[in-house]
Structure 1
């Protein structure tokens, strides 16, 4: 009886984690370049099998299922819709394995969010104030008093000088770690995108990959599954109380 209670509690906890993930996705439905999270569930063995007291397949009393657990979240790196804007400092990358390089607290990070702007000191920055890096790893800086223009391939031209945006190519998406504010830390090898493959769209933004309708359907399904697990917990608790009451009377 208690085993059923524990399985229901594990199921409720797993669904609660999924609801939190979906909530974060919905909160970023309008965030440029945001990549939604997908939840991965995994079936658990019984406690006895996980502790090594029983072997799976023996058909013993402990050779039963252990419910489910929320194993991990994975990021969907598919390309979001590209939308034209009227800003020259909005950039989009059609290639899904390419990222803009930015700097935060002295650390080089990656982002797909290209809604940049020039600060008063002439540094190209993200909406959260991180410096956008030029090829070579230094912040891309212009003279704010002089005109400038954007050339094909993500090149910024001013006064006869041309500075390319730093565009990095990722070979393994699993090596990317989300660090907040729509940025990633690369734990694997990065390469500079060669000039012939630098397709940088100025005056465009990549939209979030979150589909609000789909996320709401997932939210409703997870909420109902959570409620069903809670009802099962209450049911097991009621049965336990009834059994204890009858034993005391006996």
Structure 2
């Protein structure tokens, strides 16, 4: 291998040039990892923004964490070795987590709209063969007198059966999420998971427990506010600000990949340039 002027590269220069190529590939790798993680975070933030007006929606958090270098992940080196392998491997998306904080309440004046005053409580609903959970209390009765969600799924009573009333008779809400019709009392089904981390989103603003472990709900804890709904937990300004910052960071990583690619190509061309 030779200099641009045709003189052969010395051993030290050759080693330095090859190491520079290796560094370029390492930089390309870490930039690509960062771009991939940030792309996934953009998807999470975009979904949050799309649900800024969805009743009872809980925002999702994208949790990024620093990766070890490829050599450490493969067991070829160890953290703290102070070698070239101890530089880190960029970031990736470790997981997503739901923020279950209590949202604000909005008055609707409709008895069938309900909001739960505790952040760890959920309404029970039936979707197909599954019993699921939701915080969205924008319910209504259909023509047959069955209480349903906004998507048409049955709202369940405390005994796990669909809530069914006589559509020809009046009814009213009692404290604690209890429906009274002609003296017959139906308790709306509520669930309180032992651990909120056991819940996973399954679409349509529903959650499913991965463990089926529940805490006992005492009568005084059944705080259901009729005539109100819980608004989305997404703050549009906060979410948009974070989305812009994440998008810019993603674009920076893409530009870094392009720079590394161009520099690597230049180095390879220099190494392969024939002597004149």
- Residues 125-146 of structure 1 show CA distances to partners (whole Å, capped at 9, x for unaligned) of 1011111000100000111111
Q: Tell me the distance in 1 between the aligned counterparts of 2:66 and 2:153.
A: 41
From 106, 109, 112, the counterpart of 1:83? 106
Q: Tell me the distance in 1 between the aligned counterparts of 2:227 and 2:28.
A: 56
What is residue 185 of structure 2 aligned with on the other side? 162
Is 1:93 equivalent to 2:116 in the alignment?
Answer: yes
Displacement, 1:244?
2.0
What is residue 161 of structure 2 aligned with on the other side? 138
Q: Tell me the distance in 2 between the aligned counterparts of 1:123 and 1:106.
A: 17
Q: Tell me the distance in 1 between the aligned counterparts of 2:243 and 2:221.
A: 39
Structure 2 residue runs without a partner (length 5+): 1-23
Question: Which has the higher mean CA deviation after the structures are superposed, 237-246 or 220-229?
Answer: 237-246
Q: Tell me the distance in 1 between the aligned counterparts of 2:209 and 2:268.
A: 56
Larger Cα Rg: Structure 1 or Structure 2? 2
Compute the TM-score of the two structures, normalised by the length of structure 1.
Answer: 0.97
- Residues 180-231 of structure 1 show CA distances to partners (whole Å, capped at 9, x for unaligned) of 1111101231135221221110000000110000001001100100000000
- Residues 144-202 of structure 1 show CA distances to partners (whole Å, capped at 9, x for unaligned) of 11111111111111122010101111221100111111111012311352212211100
Compute the TM-score of the two structures, normalised by the length of structure 2.
Answer: 0.88
From 36, 41, 50, the counterpart of 2:73? 50
Map 1:66-215 onto structure 2 (within 5 A). Answer: 66-188=89-211, 189-215=213-239
Q: Tell me the distance in 1 between the aligned counterparts of 2:158 and 2:216.
A: 8
Are the equivalent residues in 2 in contact too, given 1:46–1:66 (CA < 8 A)? yes
Q: Tell me the distance in 2 between the aligned counterparts of 1:149 and 1:63.
A: 67
What is residue 268 of structure 2 aligned with on the other side? 244
Q: Tell me the distance in 2 between the aligned counterparts of 1:190 and 1:37.
A: 23
- Residues 105-127 of structure 1 show CA distances to partners (whole Å, capped at 9, x for unaligned) of 11111110000011122111101
Displacement, 1:104?
0.8
In angstroms, what is the RMSD of aligned CA positions?
1.0
Structure 1 residue runs without a partner (length 5+): none
Question: Which has the higher mean CA deviation after the structures are superposed, 65-74 or 189-198?
Answer: 189-198
What is residue 235 of structure 1 aligned with on the other side? 259
Larger strand proportion of the pair: 1
Are the equivalent residues in 2 in contact too, given 1:118–1:124 (CA < 8 A)? yes
Q: Tell me the distance in 2 between the aligned counterparts of 1:200 and 1:70.
A: 37
Displacement, 1:60?
2.1
Residues matched between the structures, number: 250
